[in-house]
Amino acid sequence: MSVARGPKTTEHQIRLAKSCLGEMEKQAVLGVLDREFLGMGAEVHEFEVILTAFFERPAICVVNGTAALHLALQACGISRGDEVLVPSFTFVASFQAIAATGAIPVPCDIDPVTYTLDWEDASKRVTAATRAVMPVHYAGGVGDLDGIYSMAHSYGLRVVEDAAHAFGTTTLGRRVGSFGDVACFSFDGIKNITCGEGGCVVSDDDEVLEQVRRYRSLGLLTERNADPTRGVLPKIDVREQGWRYHMSNIMAAIGIQQFHRRGEFADKRRELARAYDRLLGDFETVVSIPNDYEAVVPFMYAVRIDGDYDIPAVRARLHADGIQTGAQYQPNHNYTLFSGRDKPPLPVVTDLYKRLVVLPLHPDLEVEDVEYICERIGEALSATRS
């Protein structure tokens, strides 16, 4: 391996993930502060216009990705007692968004190669109460999304895609979010583009769109009959439970600038993931997700370590070498709130978690950092073989 570069200082860790912000984002925020309109106004509208053009169908901005999922489910009519199929291997946000509607998240197993929803396993968990399926595009890849849609179609289920990891990814020539039932994105601090926090719902179902717009603003229904010149107030009504889930102009101002940098970010993420693929290809026991980085914009880089290694010791060594690692995600069916619904069992996700190591990936890393990380992984593996 070529000369590899270590962390810049001893206390400097190579971060697993981070926001990448520049002067444009700072100026955009200052612009909002100068105009003294911080709520949902011109910047949010502009960001929605940009995203709508990008996805070629309406995008509605909300306060975060979890809210996007919650609102999308509510707008699809998911409510108390309904069941929603979801991979156990996801951020707890997917499960909590389902639970927020009163519905029950039903943990499903994952495909052993892509770590995305195994639709055959999911189909075995369908009951009379099942109303929807929530595929999660793990690390940016979508797995067999067409298979998931076929399964959903055959059982008459709504599909709410948790596309939090997949901003910019395409599959079979189509951009994620530009097709299908409803897709939800997150713009939290470490996602492919960020607003600080933030998210959006994308769909071409007019009823879903109208309801998401209403529910994000406390369910307010406002008639356009106001006439301030005659002192006539708008007629307002509230008929359903809504939430305070709108996006602010500060967030949108950051998001607009980040959107313009999406190509630069995607190129860098792809370059780094390809470098990992190339360098880890030498290690027989380190298994990466075989993504096509022409299509996938990688959000994370996860490896499974096969064989008899002491994984906590591998993590500790990497930590000592200044390399942060992650383990996204602990299976959700192991959380107290969601336990007891893992019958039949979930062997793939249960086994994966013990052997999963997530490696640093963000646009401020360089290929030299990836070389350093891979070199240290090699050393950690030789040192910890049991």
| Listed ranges 88-96, 114-122, 169-177, 238-246: which one lies at the site for ligand PLP (CB under 6 A) | 88-96
By beta carbon distance, the residue nearest ligand PLP is 65
298 binds ligand PLP (CB under 6 A): no
| CB of 69 or CB of 152, closer to ligand PLP | 69
93 binds ligand PLP (CB under 6 A): yes
Q: Of 255, 250, 260, 294, which Cα lies nearest the Cα of 274? A: 294
Q: Which residue has the tokens 């697993």?
A: 16
| CB of 58 or CB of 65, closer to ligand PLP | 65
Q: How far is the CB of 137 from ligand PLP (least distance, A)?
A: 8
Among 47, 55, 89, 91, binds ligand PLP (CB under 6 A): 91
Burial of 373 (0-12, 13-18, 19+ CB in 10 A): buried
301 binds ligand PLP (CB under 6 A): no
| Listed ranges 16-24, 49-57, 64-72, 272-280: which one lies at the site for ligand PLP (CB under 6 A) | 64-72
Burial of 27 (0-12, 13-18, 19+ CB in 10 A): exposed
| Listed ranges 159-167, 172-180, 286-294, 368-376: which one lies at the site for ligand PLP (CB under 6 A) | 159-167
Among 20, 164, 253, 256, binds ligand PLP (CB under 6 A): 164
| CB of 202 or CB of 286, closer to ligand PLP | 202
Q: Are 276 and 290 in contact (CB under 8 A)?
A: no
289 binds ligand PLP (CB under 6 A): no
Q: Are 195 and 259 in contact (CB under 8 A)?
A: no
Among 74, 94, 114, 123, binds ligand PLP (CB under 6 A): 94
64 binds ligand PLP (CB under 6 A): yes
Among 32, 48, 66, 149, binds ligand PLP (CB under 6 A): 66
Q: How far is the CB of 195 from ligand PLP (least distance, A)?
A: 9
136 binds ligand PLP (CB under 6 A): yes
Residues 307 to 326 in contact with ligand PLP, rule: CB under 6 A = none
Q: How far is CA 65 from the centre of its chain?
A: 7
Site string for ligand PLP, 190-209 (x = CB under 6 A): -------x-x----------
130 binds ligand PLP (CB under 6 A): no
For ligand PLP, how many residues bind (rule: CB under 6 A)?
15
| CB of 239 or CB of 244, closer to ligand PLP | 244
Query: Which positions touch ligand PLP (CB under 6 A)?
Result: 64-66, 90-91, 93-94, 136, 162, 164-165, 186, 188, 197, 199
